[in-house]
Amino acid sequence: MSAIVSKGQARHARGPVRTAIAIVLLALLLFPVYWMLNISLQPSGNALSGTFFPTHPSLDGYRAAIADQGGHLVISLVIASGTVVLSLLVAAPCAYALAQFRFRWISWALLAILISQMIPSIVIANALYTAYERIGLLDSIPGLIVVNSASGIPFGILIMRSFMLGVPPSIVEAARVDGAGLVRAFLSIVVPISRNSLITAGLFAFLFAWSDFIYALTLTTKGQVVPVTLGIYTYLGAHIANWSAVMATAVLASLPAIVLLVVAQRYISAGATGGAVK
Amino acid sequence: MSDTKTLAPAPPRDAPAPRPPTARRSGSRRLEEITKILFVVPAGLAIVALFGYPVVKNVVMGFQDYGLKTFFTGKAPFVGLSNYVAVVSDDVFSKAVVNTALFTLGSILGQFVIGMLLALFFHQSFPLNGVLRALFLLPWLLPLIVGSAAWRAILEQDSGILNVTLQNLGVIDGPVPWLTSPSVALVSVILVNIWLGIPFNLTLLYSGLQAIPDELYEAGALDGATGWRAFWSITWPNLRAVVSVVLMLGVIYTLKVLDIILGLTQGGPANATQTIALQSYQRSFVEFKFGQGAALSNILIVISLAFAIIYLRVNRRQVDE
């Protein structure tokens, strides 16, 4: 008994030390993120600054970034929001069906969804380029929304299905007895109950589309539709004249991830483990 | 789903049910079956259009002379294996294969070991554990191209902070050309990819550790298994399923990496960071030889599929549940 107590006390005493170690490790891992912020606040014009703090902080980098890339940020926002809507509309009913209906081919469908997540995006880009060229979806926002849903839909199905497996059939039954059709029951009962899994799936669809670079690079040719990731790449491509503007753009492009991490952290952890393993 | 649901609408066998209601019922049941199918039709179409079609199209394109001309003439003559011969016999191919192997192996090893150590560390209890662990996720949520841009600034040869710091500390005499020297660039790209992969490994391994019941450790402690003994005889065997999932997903994700290499080196210098995926991109979208690009990405599909099969065998229990 006394051994257990003393062990507990030792663990308690070691707690703050571990917290300190964790903070040091975190500082090391997040250094590139800090450095991005630091450079973005340095006065622009010169080469990279070696000072560890923005001692003379300047917003010139952000002014240049918004002037050059503001439109690209808006395009990214439109594409990412569109991808969320399309992915959820397509994936949510399917997730419910795969969780609750008795189709004989469910395990085959799940297998297909799992394998689809493993197809390299360059394969999709290669084939869709020629198809998009023919049907006029190259250089278009709808074209990028559709192709970005290629990541959002399968991931969404897996996340939402694993949640909807736990929806008791009896509450849907009760609605059916009251005269609701299958669609009504789904919309008025299943969707509200499964809200958290819809948020998780939507959040990831947003992040996938917001972060997309490969499809933006390959399925746009004329420079009319430029999401911010492609904007950063173009910035990096030429010899970099203005590091603070590049890093300011990088910071702005990171904002959704940072906001979501702060606001919706529990959904992110759920998605990280749920989508990969289940 | 319970059996009663499907049985409920059926009229009792021995009761003499009047005919019209039965007909209507079987009609509404058919309607219901159709509605059920409609729940999955959009997703089915999406999967076919966004995965089925591209894979089939790529396989076909691999045997076609599909180039810039095709977009004007509409003709893509079949050329047998000549796309494969062309890409495989190119000197860059063997280099790309070796680089892909080194990039994948190095990235996975680094991500996994660091992710595992961090997961074990966070598995202990201490104040602010949850908050700090969440912050570790940040690199994983950033767009890859943002990560590449940040590292470009750090690794920049003349005024990048890494060289400045190492020189101030006296570790190196002159600046190291992290991204512009053929002998160092691949290592730099691997290190950046390790950095990006740590959060994924940490998160999955941590949730795997959480799933191991405490009683196992308590029983192990009674038998004298603590520290490393406990790790090897309790943690590792119980974590094996999660470990294989993490490793397989890691391999499949790393094989197809494009953003990081394009953002950091674009395959250079002197093809030092060329990979199969990057070659495929360049054949198709820089040289507009879509047939050759397809041939390379088909090779990539076969490699990914081999790992996917291993993954699915390991993961079968979850799929069948």
- What tens-digit pLDDT sequence spans chain B (321 residues)? 333 333 334 444 444 444 444 555 677 788 888 999 999 999 999 999 999 999 999 999 999 999 988 888 888 899 999 999 999 999 999 999 999 999 999 999 999 999 999 999 999 999 999 899 999 999 999 999 999 999 999 999 888 999 999 999 999 999 999 999 999 999 999 999 999 999 999 999 999 999 999 899 989 988 888 888 889 999 999 998 889 889 998 999 999 999 999 999 999 899 999 999 999 999 999 999 999 999 999 999 999 989 888 777 776 655 444
- Residue keyed to tokens 């591209």: B54
Distance between A97 CA and the closest CA of chain B, angstroms: 6
pLDDT score at A4: 44
Dihedral of the CA atoms B205, B206, B210, B211 (nearest 10)? -20
- Measure the CA–CA gap between B315 and A107, rounded to whole angstroms: 13
Neighbours of B132 (CB within 10 A): 17
- Measure the CA–CA gap between B1 and B20, rounded to whole angstroms: 29
pLDDT score at B245: 87
| Nearest CB partner across the interface for B159, out of A25, A50, A217 | A50
- Measure the CA–CA gap between B205 and B283, rounded to whole angstroms: 38
In the DSSP assignment, the letter for residue A101 is S
pLDDT score at B320: 47
Residues A107-124 pLDDT 10s: 899 989 988 888 999 999
- B53 touching chain A per CB within 8 A: yes
Phi and psi, residue B286, nearest 5°: -105, -45
- B46 touching chain A per CB within 8 A: yes
Q: Sort out which chain A residues have CB atoms less than 8 A from B195's CB and list them.
A: 29, 32
User: Phi-psi category of B142—alpha, beta or left, where left has phi over 0 and alpha has psi -120 to 50?
Assistant: beta
- B87 touching chain A per CB within 8 A: no
A79-83, A256-260, B160-164, B223-227, range with greatest mean pLDDT:
A79-83
Is residue A245 within 8 Å of residue A68, measured between CB atoms? yes
What are the structural domain ranges in chain B? 23-61, 82-320
pLDDT score at A81: 97
A126/B293 touch (CB, cutoff 8 Å), yes or no: yes
Residues B179-200 pLDDT 10s: 999 999 999 999 999 999 999 9
What are the C-alpha distances in Å from B75 to residues A81, B63, B65? Answer: 38, 13, 9
The structure's pTM equals 0.89
- Residue keyed to tokens 């397509």: A90
- Average pLDDT of chain A is 88
- Measure the CA–CA gap between A55 and B249, rounded to whole angstroms: 43
Among A77, A108, A123, A221, the strongest candidate for a mutation testing the B interface, having the largest count of B CBs within 10 A, is A123
- Measure the CA–CA gap between B255 and B261, rounded to whole angstroms: 12
pLDDT score at B2: 38
User: Which neighbouring-strand residues pair with B64?
Assistant: B78
B160/A236 touch (CB, cutoff 8 Å), yes or no: no
pLDDT at residue A21 tops 80 = yes
A26/B304 touch (CB, cutoff 8 Å), yes or no: no
**Per CATH, which fold does A69-273 belong to?**
MetI-like fold (1.10.3720)
In the DSSP assignment, the letter for residue A240 is P
CATH architecture for the domain at B82-320: Orthogonal Bundle (1.10)
- Nearest to residue A264, comparing CAs of B246, B209, B141? B141
Give the pLDDT mean for A127-151: 95
Three-class SS state of B64: strand
pLDDT score at A12: 56
B127/A229 touch (CB, cutoff 8 Å), yes or no: no
A102/B158 touch (CB, cutoff 8 Å), yes or no: no
Distance between A43 CA and the closest CA of chain B, angstroms: 15
Nearest residue in chain B measured CA to CA from A266: B134
A122/B258 touch (CB, cutoff 8 Å), yes or no: yes
B40/A98 touch (CB, cutoff 8 Å), yes or no: yes
Q: How sure is the predictor about A276, in pLDDT bands with cuts at 50, 70 and 90?
A: low
Listed in sequence order, the DSSP H helices in chain A are 2-29, 31-40, 60-100, 106-116, 121-135, 141-164, 169-177, 182-185, 191-193, 195-211, 214-218, 228-237, 243-263, 265-277
- B31 touching chain A per CB within 8 A: no
Amino acid at the residue A23: I
Amino acid at the residue B134: A
- Measure the CA–CA gap between B284 and B29, rounded to whole angstroms: 50
- Nearest to residue A39, comparing CAs of A51, A28, A27, A30? A51
- DSSP code per residue over B261-317: HHHHTTT-STTTT--HHHHHHIIIIIS--HHHHHHHHHHHHHHHHHHHHHHHHHTHH
pLDDT score at A275: 55
Residues B295-310 pLDDT 10s: 999 999 999 989 888 7
Count of residues in chain B: 321
Nearest residue in chain A measured CA to CA from B208: A273
- Measure the CA–CA gap between B188 and B288, rounded to whole angstroms: 29
